[in-house]
Amino acid sequence: MSTGSKARVSPTPRGLWVFESEKTSVMRSLAEDKAKSRRSIKVAAVVGLLLLGASIIWILSGILSPRGPKALPDISFNTIDGRTLDPESLAGRPLLIKFWATSCRVCLQEIPEIEALYREFAPAGFEVIAVAASWDLPDAVVILSKKRAFPWPVVLDPDGAIEKRFGGIEATPTHFFILPDGRIAFRHLGALDTRALADRLRTLVY
């Protein structure tokens, strides 16, 4: 070995250990950051699902749960043809109160089915009262009612007084089916299941 040549300096074992230790520390820190990120995403997802579930429950509770009075309110209905219907004149008869609007597509689509229901059971005492939504235009209600020749009474409610007595109406159509003893059997938002109602009426009037 020549004494004039420069010796190679190799990293000491401690130097290697320090380097590996720092590398391991960085990797561990990155792994912890990834784990925290995953936990944060999971927590955010769980919170989001809980909020979504709460929103769905709140919406369904407004649609499905009973609201408003338990029985027909003590209120008179003044029809567009000049008649007055009060609880006494309606007593002892099954009654469908339909809150509707001339701009409501579902309201108009279900008219033929309700007409068929009315013509079948009206002779046995069944009555339908169509209450126009407070936001509807009275002139439009009168014109459409006469054009379609509705066989049932039509009532205007421009100040929303009737709506309030029924617990408020947020959307149309909203139906209330009232038993002959005056109790409200159900409140239903949306298109009416006329077949189910026909079955119910058969047990009441025949």
* pLDDT tens, the chain, 206 aa long: 444 444 454 455 555 555 556 666 667 777 777 777 777 677 677 666 766 665 454 444 444 445 578 999 999 999 999 999 999 999 999 999 999 999 999 999 999 999 999 999 999 999 999 999 999 999 999 999 999 999 999 999 999 999 999 999 999 999 999 999 999 999 999 999 999 999 999 999 87
CA 196/CA 112 separation, integer angstroms = 16
- Work out the angle between the directed axes of helices 111-121 and 194-205 (0-180°, nearest 10): 10
Q: Which of 36, 155, 29, 139 is nearest to 85 (CA)?
A: 155
* pTM score over 0.85: no
pLDDT of 57 reads 45
- What is the pLDDT, as a whole number, of residue 36? 72
Closest CA to 67 of 151, 176, 146, 153: 176
pLDDT of 41: 76
